[in-house]
Structure 1
């Protein structure tokens, strides 16, 4: 469960090798993988009283995180050993306004190592897993295992489009939106929010109802269809500002 689109790895230390959808692609789980330490909850970000109106599944283009050197920790796992494509940022309960459920309960002790390992190919960062559980998972689930099981069910049920197959000169927010819809017949086109950073594709945020049915995104679609984008190449090292 919970497997991301990974490329063949050169890592010499492997105990789990997860076969995934793309032919010939594997994800190597490092045998020294450990849970991240819990961190102090930022009091100014707590929003435990906001009702859940819908959910978002945030699907990231991992090379952009590596290129920018921002947003995602654990670069030694995400950017060095494996060459990831699309990975999961997280499953986010959303409110019906500008405030969203966040840090709804104390996240408790560090996650179990078995849980971190099981979902590594989906979210290849123990620190990001810990953050997603603390910030979002506590707003709808009673344990990390329950939260990531739901995220993995949605992730496994999502066909991941081959974004690298889109010609660079035709890469727009609309083309990426179309690619997700084409790979997942029946998913509403207005249910795909495209997030960008300075003209680079960052992630697609897919909208689902409270009972996890695909739906229209209530607050817009992010980047407009006509916006031209760049796609960071796989294998880029952390902080490498590749040319557009």
Structure 2
């Protein structure tokens, strides 16, 4: 009996030793490893274009913009960080941002421009969610200042929604079946409670760019009030991971 107990204890001890923590700077993200750069720094604040400032627009609902990082790297749009986002890691879905929306085609933007610089601790904490200091600064300045008192509060809310979202494996969709409807279905299948008409699909020249998920003012999934972007039947292409060339 004592031998059995000793053997069981040894087995548990060896199993515990095998569970070595990942090296410092590595974070598990949706089955992949994200490396947080040791020299990561915040982006500088900037003065927004005067015609983009809309501080007086009431918030009607929110959008969570979930982008396909390889497409951002390929196109150079949406402030990708070529050094960290596009060359050092192999990101798939990442968070573009949490966007307060207005009731019509005007949306609240740059409500406290220029948005102050984000503390480096906040940039590092949310790098694996939004892997670009420039994009983080833009999202805080353009959108975060319209609903939150600090970048910490803004990114904490965004992270809460991001962490609760099941990210579908878009690369599992056969290329000959990749349509806007298939991407929409993938998000809905992975997230029970997300309405199908709450998934707006954004594209760029036939390439999948991002899914914009609609939420109420109190962050409940809802129908997108102004259409769904690309129609279900639209055929799409998906930029492969590891794409580092930008087509600027």
TM-score, with structure 2 as normaliser: 0.89
Deviates more, 1:73-82 or 1:120-129: 73-82
Q: Superposed, which structure 2 residues align to 1:88-237 within 5 Å? A: 88-237=95-244
Flag structure 2 segments of 5+ consecutive residues without an equivalent. 1-22
Tell me how far apart the structure 1 counterparts of residues 60 and 116 of structure 2 sit (CA, whole Å): 28
* Aligned-residue RMSD, C-alpha: 1.3
User: Larger Rg: 1 or 2?
Assistant: 2
Q: Superposed, which structure 2 residues align to 1:23-38 within 5 Å? A: 25-38=32-45
Q: CA deviation at 1:108?
A: 4.5
SS at match of 2:98: strand
Tell me how far apart the structure 1 counterparts of residues 80 and 93 of structure 2 sit (CA, whole Å): 16
Tell me how far apart the structure 1 counterparts of residues 119 and 188 of structure 2 sit (CA, whole Å): 35
2:86 to 79, 93, 113: 79
TM-score, with structure 1 as normaliser: 0.90
Q: CA deviation at 1:107?
A: 4.4
Aligned residues: 226
Q: Which has the higher helix share?
A: 2
Flag structure 1 segments of 5+ consecutive residues without an equivalent. 1-13
Q: CA deviation at 1:110?
A: 1.5
Partner of 2:29: 20
Partner of 2:75: 68
Tell me how far apart the structure 1 counterparts of residues 145 and 70 of structure 2 sit (CA, whole Å): 28
Tell me how far apart the structure 2 counterparts of residues 239 and 37 of structure 1 sit (CA, whole Å): 23
